[in-house]
Amino acid sequence: MSKLTHLQPARVFHYFEEICGIPHGSGDTARISDYCVAFAKAHNLTYHQDTLGNVIIKKSATAGYEDHPAVILQGHIDMVCEKAPDSPIDFTTDGLDVDTDGEFVFAHGTTLGGDNGIAVAMAFAILESTDLPHPPLEVLLTVDEETGMYGAEGFDPSYLEGKMLINIDSEEEGVLTVSCAGGARAELTLPLTYVPNTAPCWQVEVGGLQGGHSGIEIDKGRLNANVVMAQFLRTIDCRLVTIGGGQKDNAIPVSSVAVIACDTDPTAAAVAFAAAHRVDGDPDLTVSVAPATSAAAMTAETTAAVLTLLTTVPNGVQAMSTDIEGLVQTSLNLGILTTEGDTLRASFAVRSSVGAEKAALLEKLATLAPCTTYGHYPAWEYRKDSRLRDTMCAVWERTTGTPPTVAAIHAGLECGLFCEKIPGLDAVSIGPDMWDVHTCRERLSVSSTARVYAYLCDVLKEL
């Protein structure tokens, strides 16, 4: 039964709900890519689907706009898949349990994927419209943005003619994003040595944390569960059996679990540590302990090496911009920590709007442990002269009576790759209000979606 049919704009939420019903986590985008192709076929639109699963859909200009330059509408079709421990959702087979309270759209127990399903929904509503004036349209839908922008990196720009691109992957109404940080993924590895164990074992869990997007919320004073776990374990005499937490390197981990061998019950120490380390950004930190068993544990030397690495490796904000007040310039996030057999793996999302600082941070990680880097993407530099930005600012001010905010962000956007591939590309990123993306608390504003969709339609009339 449809939950969103009564919301406006009706066709936007119709398509958004359809998208929520299709599994489309990063790396699992074949079905959502084929859904986009099926849409193009059903509406007799020209399309191209590449081997990665990226889809380009084209629509001719409406009467009177035939000689206007083409405009690219762009979003990504993958989502971050995070869920609560008690959620029954299997992201590989199940759609989301999407719902609304009239003010917000959300998914029960999981991320919503408003980042970036709402871009696809808006684009499809525009493509199917018969009464909206617009120039030639090219809708570019990319795969695997959340894990390294691999779709944007691999797509062939020769299928596009447009030199103006509206990216619909931002999360604050009234903000025109015109620049963003570049980034990369980094994975540190450490060898693990185990020996037989006869000491009592305990499972320690760090929880109660807010988490959030590792770019947008990295400066909000939120705790990283993996770092907190290592900090706590260094305060007690123990040997590690396993340690791990986090599901995505671009999401601040909300929980971390370790099994340790320890002669004394660490419960009291855990409770005291949690009470002493709660912060304004994460006031609900908990550290809980339960009995466990293991016939093997890491050596004392291996345990020390692991905990030293995890408590000395840089994490969080590393530098703030000196040009733009309040903008994070360089950061990293220890998003995924695992023990797999005899190897510890620690995965980071590294971001910086300064290429030299990104390179230096990656070099620093490599001095701490063997390091593999991948998923590099460039910063999106500010364009001094921009017809698209000027037009979008003018339309916003005319319709709202106030100027929009023109901003740079610390999160990564695909626009940097597009500008690198398409010389002279003029790009702006917009989006409706969303909160707590990449977490189970993700929610999308219904009223903001309506206003931003109307604004996008007005912009197309002016281009």
What is the tens place of the pLDDT at every residue in 108-118? 999 999 999 99
* Among 37-51, 166-180, 318-332, 439-453, the least confident range: 318-332
In Å, how far are 183, 331, 354, 371, 372 from 363, measured between CA atoms?
Answer: 14, 14, 14, 9, 11
Domain boundary assignment for the chain: 10-181+379-462, 184-377
* Tens of pLDDT, residues 320-355: 988 788 899 999 999 999 999 999 999 999 999 888
- The percentage of the chain sitting over the pLDDT mark of 90, rounded to a whole number, equals 91
CA 181 to chain CA centroid, Å, is: 13
Give bridge partners of residue 182 from the DSSP assignment.
Answer: 352
29-85 per-position pLDDT tens digit: 999 999 999 999 999 999 999 999 999 999 999 999 999 999 999 999 999 999 998
pTM: 0.77
Q: What is the pLDDT of residue 187?
A: 98
First to last CA, the chain: 39
CA distances from 435 to 19, 24, 96, 211, 217 (A): 19, 20, 18, 12, 10
pLDDT at 1 over 80: no
Q: Which helix (H) or strand (E) holds 290?
A: strand 286-292
**Fold match flag (10-181+379-462 vs 184-377):** no
Q: pLDDT digit string (tens) for 126-160?
A: 999 999 999 999 999 999 999 889 999 999 999 99
The catalytic position among 145, 169, 217, 357 is 145
| 460 has a pLDDT exceeding 90 | yes
184-377 belongs to which CATH class? Answer: alpha beta
Given a cut of 90, is residue 382 above it in pLDDT?
A: no
Q: Which pLDDT score is estimated for 11? A: 98
Active site residue 145: yes
Residue 148's pLDDT is 84
Structure confidence by residue, pLDDT tens digits, 187-215: 999 999 999 999 999 999 999 999 998 99
Pick the catalytic residue from 18, 78, 217, 414. 78
CA distances 312 to 18, 230, 231, 257, Å, are: 45, 10, 10, 19
C-beta of residue 59 within 8 angstroms of C-beta of residue 137: yes
Question: What does the longest C-alpha to C-alpha distance in the chain come to?
Answer: 81
Residue 154 CA: distances (Å) to CA of 34, 140, 393: 18, 13, 31
Cα–Cα dist 397/106, whole Å? 30
Q: What does the buried/exposed string (b/e) look like for 408-435 if buried means 16 or more CB atoms within 10 Å of the residue's CB?
A: bbbbbbbbbbbbeebeebbbbbbbbbbb
Residue 25 DSSP symbol: B
Does residue 268 register a pLDDT over 80?
yes
Q: Specify the pLDDT at position 262.
A: 97
Residue 436 DSSP label:
S
Residues 253 and 211 sit within 8 Å (Cβ to Cβ): yes
- DSSP secondary structure of 150-215: HHHHH--GGG---SEEEE----STTEEEEEE-EEEEEEEEEE--EEE--S-EEEEEEE----EETT
Helix H segments across 6-86? 10-20, 30-42
Q: Which CATH superfamily is domain 10-181+379-462 in?
A: Zn peptidases (3.40.630.10)
Tokens of 240: 């590690």
Whether 161 sits among the annotated catalytic residues: the reply is no
Average pLDDT score, the chain: 96
**What's the gap between Cα 31 and its chain centre?**
20
